[in-house]
Structure 1
Amino acid sequence: MNQFYTYYKDIKIAYYTFGNPKGKAVVWLHGFLEDSRMWTYLLDQLPQSFRHIFIDLPGFGRSQCIAYVHTMDEMADVVMAVLRELKVRKAAFIGHSMGGYVSLAFGEKYSESVRALCLFHSTAAADSPEKIENRNRGIELAKKNPQLFARTTFQGLFADWAHDLYKNEIEEQTQIAVSTPLQGIVAALEGMKIRPDRTVLLHFAPYQIFHIVGSEDPVFKGHSLDDQLTAPKVKAFVLKAGHMSHIENRKDLLPVLREYFKSL
């Protein structure tokens, strides 16, 4: 991957590119406590005919923080700033967890610039009152010990059986999680808890939406996503995984991604 920087409100934003500069653009957006390095496990399987763009969202990786609260809408504006710098007029999106929230915000605000959207272990629903309270507790815990919060939270995203099978990969990504600055952690939590419900996009968006979920995801338990998976604009895929199928189940994930690329 080639690394670049752009500026948004005088704040440095890091992004990386891979593949054909003249190909159709695919924007990859990482989740909470991650950065663009989460995608390295898939890199050698990506079609080089596309122009892959990996963005470190504000407060993560090599991108700086913007404010005390990073709303999903402002993160979407950051993504647009990168696309404008690259002169990309239309792109497909793959957003993991929080990156899915940002993709949806982008898809609502800049629908004419979206070719397709893939929610990757994410949801179009707003936070429930219980989830908001959990985020508030997380903010307080992070302020006391950000590294412990990051380690505990990140390692809780995997299915129980994955911890032994993928010990090295999990520890590698945990080190990235614990390096997240406190401001980045808090700003993202504050932004996620106030994001609006965007399930209407699953019914009326002017583009197709792939929705990839894990059958053992500790974040979205039981049948909480069933209504989203049967929405008119959605093509759904359920994989044997927790919240992190790019580590837990690449074998079944890669054919889904190939189908997504083929649809573009």
Structure 2
Amino acid sequence: MSAIHFFEKGKGQPLVLIHGFCETSRMWTDFAEELSTDFRVICPDLPGIGDSPIAGDQISLEEVAVSLEEWMDENQIKNPIVVGHSLGGYVTLALLELMGSRLKAVGLFHSSAFADAADKKETRNRAIVFLKKHGVDKFVTSFVPPLFPEDKSEELKAEIERAIEDGKRSSLDGLVAFTGAMRDRKERIDVLKNFSGPKLLIAGTEDGAVKIEASRAQKDAFTHYVELEGVGHMGMVEKKEETINLIREFARAQL
């Protein structure tokens, strides 16, 4: 029996939404509400995050993909459209490599099929040291605000505070494990290119975590590519209605 905790809403074509790092399934609450009129929307907590347990502080994206495949089988989630934000996008690509044509379509939200560069790997290593020394609350409080554009920090103050509180629902083992998993992930651009189904990338021109140059460099691997002008790493918050509609239109086209 899978230990993956999730919530779902609606009926019909399965649409799986996978949260990012320092986030939980709750980030998709408004998306699930609005998209459930057309789809069976299913939002899992990744291992060690929210209400899903994890054994230890090490995990690979390949292991996560196997867990999600088992979870899908147990819950009759067949031929899903899978959309992931940031870390959730990396998980989506690992799932795509494992399941291939058993996925109807995939979407990446502020994410990348490329592996970490050397400087990014070092940043991940420093994050692990910080987490182990200072704990979840202090890490999340410092990590989350820079995901939003600095010039919108006052305008989005309430949203940033909610994101911080959501991030604090991650376990220490979970955050350490996924920091290492992101650091060690392999490039999956060929996996993406070889998938014949629909593929969506939503990018932000002001994204500090996944630079717009990296998004543009992988643009040709996608069938659908959208840039959100002036948006940082949290387009689903900064442009909620617009991005809900983007996901709805992309998913409806697969029905």
2:20 is aligned with 1:31: yes
Contact 1:25 1:90 in 2 (8 A): yes
Q: Where in structure 1 do 4 or more consecutive aligned residues deviate above 4 Å?
A: none
Aligned mates of 2:15, 2:55 — CA distance in 1: 24
User: Which residue of structure 2 lines up, in the alignment, with residue 13 of structure 1?
Assistant: 4
Amino acid at match of 1:213: A
Secondary structure of the structure 2 residue equivalent to 1:125: coil
Secondary structure of the structure 1 residue equivalent to 2:197: coil
Q: How far apart are residue 201 of structure 1 and its match? A: 2.6
Amino acid at match of 1:154: V
* Residues 222 and 211 (structure 1), Cα distance of their counterparts in 2 relative to 1, 3 Å cut: closer
Q: CA RMSD in A?
A: 1.4
User: Which residue of structure 2 lines up, in the alignment, with residue 230 of structure 1?
Assistant: 220
Deviations along 1:137-196, whole A, 9 cap, x unmatched?
000011111221121111211111332122112101201212322111101111111111
User: Which residue of structure 2 lines up, in the alignment, with residue 89 of structure 1?
Assistant: 78
* Higher relative contact order (CA closer than 8 Å, sequence separation 6+): 2
Which has more helix, going by share of residues? Answer: 2
Structure 2: runs of 5+ lacking an equivalent: none
2:31 is aligned with 1:42: yes
What are the equivalent positions in structure 2 for 1:101-250 lying under 5 Å apart?
101-146=90-135, 147-231=137-221, 233-240=222-229, 241-250=231-240
Secondary structure of the structure 2 residue equivalent to 1:223: helix
Amino acid at match of 2:38: S
The counterpart of 2:249, out of the listed 233, 252, 259, is: 259
* Residues 85 and 170 (structure 1), Cα distance of their counterparts in 2 relative to 1, 3 Å cut: same
Aligned mates of 1:64, 1:142 — CA distance in 2: 18
Amino acid at match of 1:13: I
The counterpart of 1:62, out of the listed 39, 43, 51, is: 51
User: Which residue of structure 2 lines up, in the alignment, with residue 4 of structure 1?
Assistant: none
Taking structure 2 as the reference length, the TM-score comes to 0.94
Deviates more, 1:210-219 or 1:84-93: 84-93
Aligned mates of 1:112, 1:203 — CA distance in 2: 13
Contact 1:94 1:119 in 2 (8 A): yes
* Residues 222 and 110 (structure 1), Cα distance of their counterparts in 2 relative to 1, 3 Å cut: closer
Contact 1:28 1:53 in 2 (8 A): yes
Taking structure 1 as the reference length, the TM-score comes to 0.91
Aligned mates of 2:219, 2:150 — CA distance in 1: 24
Amino acid at match of 1:124: A
Aligned mates of 1:46, 1:222 — CA distance in 2: 27
Deviates more, 1:199-208 or 1:184-193: 199-208
